[in-house]
Amino acid sequence: MADYSNKLYYQLEQETGIQTGYTRTGSIFLAQTQDRLISLKRINAGLNVIGIPSEIISPKKVAELHHLLNVHDLVGAMHVPEDAVVSSADVALALASAASQNGVQIYDRTSVLHVMVKKGQVTGVETDKGQIECQYFVNCAGQWAYELGLSNEEPVSIPLHACEHFYLLTRPLETPLQSSTPTIVDADGRIYIRNWQGGILSGGFEKNPKPIFTEGKNQLEIQNLQEDWDHFEPLLSSLLRRMPELETLEIMKLVNCPETFTPDMRCIMGESPAVQGYFVLAGMNSAGLSFGGGAGKYLAEWMVHGYPSENVWELDLKRFGALQSSRTFLRHRVMEVMPLMYDLKVPRWDFQTGRQLRTSPLYDRLDAQGARWMEKHGFERPKYFVPPDKDLLALEQSKTFYKPDWFDIVESEVKCCKEAVCVIDMSSFTKFEITSTGDQALEVLQYLFSNDLDVPVGHIVHTGMLNEGGGYENDCSIARLNKRSFFMISPTDQQVHCWAWLKKHMPKDSNLLLEDVTWKYTALNLIGPRAVDVLSELSYAPMTPDHFPSLFCKEMSVGYANGIRVMSMTHTGEPGFMLYIPIEYALHVYNEVMSVGQKYGIRNAGYYALRSLRIEKFFAFWGQDINNLTTPLECGRESRVKLEKGMDFIGRDALLQQKQNGVYKRLTMFILDDHDSDLDLWPWWGEPIYRNGQYVGKTTSSAYSYSLERHVCLGFVHNFSEDTGEEQVVTADFINRGEYEIDIAGYRFQAKAKLYPVASLFTQKRRKDDMELSDLHGK
């Protein structure tokens, strides 16, 4: 988005004749620590491949580019030479002027009272000067977006909160700074510095921010707030350490203005799930100017075509639910978010505020057994379980780009999943039930899903909801409970998005009922070869594959509890069962499973073990590996699509065309070869992939495979023409013939590409054991 904004602002002056103050200065990002430098090297590797020039430079080079900087404490920096500065007011004026020339009417000093909505659709806007009829409304009201969203008859929740943001302006230096002086970002010092009329403009993100307007008594228009020198002092000290010559310089003023932040530091855009035609673009986290051009482009595409040209799920309003709109939550969260803007973010970090909001009934039991938690869509999920003999504090503080301290813990959980039996609490999954009085449920689902759902009662189907382009809007499993009722399991963060998609495409038919039952069921994943023994002992029912085949679902009693939905699947490729338990029975069933499981070596496991298992089995996850621009044919899921199921479904035409023309990208599994997991930097996600020395894509997720004793990455391979750079068809042959490298922070490691999971030695050994076991059963 920033790259597009840069190009847009560059041409604005020529297009409109309005001076925007556009000056190409370049930016220098400083590193005071090795970890910060690694983080910059990772960013640098990513920038180079998308055509943004940047390089890692030495402290000596930094001093040459900006002679006023003190560089003695630096270990390196990243230089982005094409970055620029502009005057924000002038850019706004130029954009408004260009819009007017193209027929846009602008009413200033006009306040919006509320947006008019009829039958869930925008119909107009009520202002203090009268009504305007419209089908689309875009809320880009910045710090007022939250209140404006709530002012409709049908409220739209936009989770953001304002904080005070400080920056100072100085008089020009004795030798005024040249307009081309690079902008400095000193994240370890929490400050940024840029030239301003020959002097300095410098602000930052302090550790103890001041949230404002929590009660909603917002300013009527943008005004500066009171200066607070005591509050700004740490940032000023940091500035003077970086530029000692400023000691004698006269400060003109300290500006304090409101700036809005969101719960996850990413801006908010897209259509409201509650009101059709109501779009949002807000919560820019202090980067409104640099992202504005690109964000505007994506939103315009969204409104015109129904979707943007890139995958922007991470920015989509529907990633949040109503649970993120509590003012107390937002106030606490933005106090954490603002310092995080410049904090060093190592892989797998978690927010500390706004936690323990949605929890499974087993939370306290698992916590007491050493669970360490992460949060997804407000839901607490276990990462791993710390054994009683481990030093906890050391674990929590060891954040690194290298081999993490939880390595051995997760290894023992994975081993237990493969050799005995583990329990993972996966209650956070989104769970919907679709029921009808006649055959309507089946008919609607057949149209919305790509796989054939007309299966016998009790069968489970892996499928996806596709869009017109054949891309995954949602990836899920559906169990047919009876002739007229279906149970759908989707990723945790799909709760709002998936509901909105279903509601939008389902007929307004009173005989159809869609119910969100996420909170009604606790989900336990029993993984491992001994899961069968634990369950058959608890239910007095045979659970072997002959009696309970794969991808089968049936209601059973487990222990004393009745009505447990047991499914023969584990989301990992390992044998085992998912148990969907009505929440009042959750504790009982968990205790019974743990008690009976003792003799089979049962233990708790977390999502890190799950990730390692699913990635080595080449299981792609929605939101990480696949998204609304990925089709089933691009990620090896042809078997989950029934093109000839006897009726049309959304995305079918696109898939037929793709089947005929071939795919332009292909999800591939990479096994790192010359990588030492003890000493080398780890791959996490987003690393560039090279084929025969040419960039072909990025990794989407990765994990250490304990059975292959190697790192495994998943990622997409494209085929760019060497002459024109245009995308060409990717065939299995193209993938198999290449020599691959994965770039981790500027270091390239050799990798083997696979289109199918590797059967490890371990699996072969287990198959042999299984054969012997089934011989015993036979006898």
Boundaries of every domain in the chain = 107-160+264-328, 361-429+520-625, 665-778
Token output for 396: 């929590």
What integer is the mean pLDDT of 554-573?
95
What integer is the mean pLDDT of 133-159?
93
Amino acid at 452: D
Instruction: Provide the CB-side half-sphere exposure for 553 (13 A, CA).
Output: 27
Position 398 confidence tier, pLDDT thresholds 50, 70, 90: low
CA 334 to chain centre: 18
The number of beta carbons lying within 10 Å of the beta carbon of residue 60 is 9
Token output for 750: 């050799």
Is the pLDDT at 453 greater than 60? The verdict is yes
pTM across the whole model: 0.94
Query: How many angstroms separate the CA atoms of 633 and 641, rounded?
Result: 9
Reduce the DSSP state of residue 718 to 3 states and report it: strand
Residue pair 568/552 in contact by the 8 Å Cβ criterion: yes
Position 766 confidence tier, pLDDT thresholds 50, 70, 90: very low
For domain 107-160+264-328, the CATH superfamily is: FAD/NAD(P)-binding domain (3.50.50.60)
Amino acid at 42: R
Question: What was the pLDDT predicted at 777?
Answer: 45
What integer is the mean pLDDT of 221-232?
87
Is the pLDDT at 719 greater than 50? The verdict is yes
> Given phi > 0 = left and psi -120 to 50 = alpha, else beta, which region is 366?
alpha
Question: What was the pLDDT predicted at 388?
Answer: 87
Query: How many angstroms separate the CA atoms of 171 and 112, rounded?
Result: 39
Query: How many angstroms separate the CA atoms of 399 and 38, rounded?
Result: 13
The pLDDT mean for the chain works out to: 93
- In this predicted structure, which of 82-86, 185-189, 343-347, 580-584 has the lowest mean pLDDT? 343-347
Is the pLDDT at 761 greater than 90? The verdict is no
Task: Report percent pLDDT > 70 for the chain.
Answer: 96
Residue carrying structure tokens 């307004």: 508
Question: What was the pLDDT predicted at 321?
Answer: 87
Nearest to 454 by CA among 470, 443, 467, 466: 443
Position 214 confidence tier, pLDDT thresholds 50, 70, 90: confident
Question: What was the pLDDT predicted at 348?
Answer: 85
What is the C-alpha radius of gyration for the chain, rounded to an integer number of angstroms? 28
Query: What's 665-778's CATH class?
Result: mainly beta
Residue pair 512/440 in contact by the 8 Å Cβ criterion: yes
Question: What was the pLDDT predicted at 735?
Answer: 96
Residue pair 30/40 in contact by the 8 Å Cβ criterion: no
Position 765 confidence tier, pLDDT thresholds 50, 70, 90: very low
Query: What's 361-429+520-625's CATH class?
Result: alpha beta
Query: How many angstroms separate the CA atoms of 270 and 319, rounded?
Result: 10
Nearest to 334 by CA among 420, 260, 239: 260
Kindly report, residue by residue over 464-478, the tens digit of the pLDDT: 999 999 999 999 999
Question: What was the pLDDT predicted at 768?
Answer: 44
- In this predicted structure, which of 58-62, 242-246, 400-404, 775-779 has the lowest mean pLDDT? 775-779
